[in-house]
Amino acid sequence: MANELTEFVLVSVALLGIGIYGLSVKRNAIRMLFAIEIVINAANLNMVAFGRFLPHSGGQTLALFSIAIAAAEVAVGLSLIIVAYRMYHNIDIADFRSLKG
Amino acid sequence: MADAAFLALSVITIGSAIAALELRSLVYGSIALMGTLGGIAGFFILLDSPFVAMFQLAVYVGSIAVLILFTVMLVKRELIFKKVEDKRRKFVGIALMLVFMVALGAVILDSGIKQITTDEPAVDFREIGDDFLTYYWPALILMGLILSGAVTGALVLARRVDEENGQRVN
């Protein structure tokens, strides 16, 4: 392997930090979904990197499961955003404080 | 040491992750998010796992990013460009990110991860198939059920109800 495990893990840490920044600062619901996607991808990169260096097939298998579950999560999250947008005519999460019918 | 492909991929991935969160327009932001997801697929190829890379391209870049792009287009035009955030909160967020990165990075650099190197051949993707069908088969079935449930739930949630005569319209 030309690259070391540390480098992949450091890229993953950088992505996780960016995702946490986005989750804590942004108030736009769609941008928070972006941040969640970035965090999930950092986790997947970590799993595949450790799976390559051990080497063990479990890392790739779990990464595939994680990608599939993330697809389901995005579908539900986007439809929730659309429903909230219809109710409040806004996608600012500060407006969603009272999520009643 | 890292090679040129790794450096280029990490610049693309991290740069477009920042761009996805910071660009003014949400449309450009979601296109930058596509860049991040594609960069991660490149990392998977560097890690000798082309099957996961193809899966990533098909699921993330192919469907999730396009889904996000269409949702962004459904939102009103002023809201796409509107950017409300506290200055103070932003600085606190950046400080949190830096503290987090430095602390976790120091822990990783100090740990024994550096000694892990391998000369063994990469895992064959046939082993992934074996895993799926032997040890993980209940999880595979459960994942299929969760996916179908989530997609059905998303459709039910996004359906519009006509208030006046109680009929459902699209």
Same domain, yes or no: B146 and B77 = no
**What confidence category does residue B167 fall into, taking pLDDT thresholds of 50, 70 and 90?**
low
Domain presence at residue B65: yes
pLDDT of residue B169: 53
Using CB atoms, pick whichever of B26, B132, B146 lies closest to residue A72.
B146
Question: Could you give the number of structural domains in chain B?
Answer: 2
pLDDT of residue B14: 95
**Domain CATH number, residue A50:** 1.10.287.3510
pLDDT of residue A37: 93
Q: What is the pLDDT of residues A46-99, one digit of tens each?
A: 999 999 998 888 899 999 999 999 999 999 999 988 888 888 888 888 777 766
Question: Could you give the number of structural domains in chain A?
Answer: 1
**What confidence category does residue A1 fall into, taking pLDDT thresholds of 50, 70 and 90?**
low
- A100 compared with B116, residue with greater pLDDT: B116
pTM of the model: 0.89
Q: Do A54 and B118 make contact, defined as CB atoms within 8 angstroms?
A: yes
Residue B78 predicted with pLDDT over 80: no
CB A85 within 8 A of CB B75: yes
Same domain, yes or no: B10 and B78 = yes
Residue B30 predicted with pLDDT over 60: yes
Nearest to B27 by CA among A31, A38, A84, A89: A31
Same domain, yes or no: B75 and B128 = no
Give the mutation candidate from B11, B28, B37, B49 for the A interface (greatest A CB count, under 10 A). Answer: B49
Among A93-97, B62-66, B134-138, the range scoring the smallest mean pLDDT is A93-97
Same domain, yes or no: B6 and B54 = yes
pLDDT of residue A100: 55
Which range marks the domain in which residue B25 is found?
1-83
Helix ranges restricted to H, chain B: 4-22, 26-46, 50-56, 65-74, 77-81, 87-110, 125-133, 137-158
Domain presence at residue B33: yes
Domain presence at residue A57: yes
Percentage of residues of chain B with pLDDT beyond 90: 49
pLDDT of residue B163: 60
Same domain, yes or no: B5 and B60 = yes
**Domain CATH number, residue B47:** 1.20.120.1200
Same domain, yes or no: B67 and B17 = yes
Which two tokens mark A5? Answer: 């495990």
Handedness of CA B14, B19, B21, B27 (dihedral sign): negative
Domain presence at residue A78: yes
CB A48 within 8 A of CB B52: yes
pLDDT of residue A68: 92
Domain presence at residue B40: yes
d(C-alpha A54, C-alpha A74), whole Å:
31
**B-chain residues near A80 (CB < 8 A):** 157
Domain presence at residue A9: yes
Domain presence at residue B94: no
Q: What is the pLDDT of residues A12-59, one digit of tens each?
A: 999 999 999 999 998 888 899 999 999 999 999 999 999 999 888 889
The residue with tokens 């109710």 is A87
Domain presence at residue A18: yes
Chain A nearest CA to B142, separation (Å): 10
Domain presence at residue B104: no
Same domain, yes or no: B128 and B65 = no
Domain presence at residue B55: yes
Burial degree of B53 (CB within 10 A; 0-12, 13-18, 19+): buried
**A-chain residues near B155 (CB < 8 A):** 79
- Cβ-based contacts under 8 A for chains A and B: 237
Domain presence at residue B118: no
Domain presence at residue B133: yes
Which of the listed residues B30, B62, B83 is the one where a domain comes to its end?
A: B83
Which two tokens mark A47? Answer: 């799993």
| Sequence-ordered list of residues with C-beta below 8 angstroms from that of B108, at least 6 positions apart, any chain | A6, A9, A10, A13
Q: What is the mean pLDDT of residues B140-157?
A: 92
Which of the listed residues B66, B83, B100 is the one where a domain comes to its end?
A: B83
pLDDT of residue A33: 92
Domain presence at residue A101: no
Which range marks the domain in which residue A45 is found?
5-96
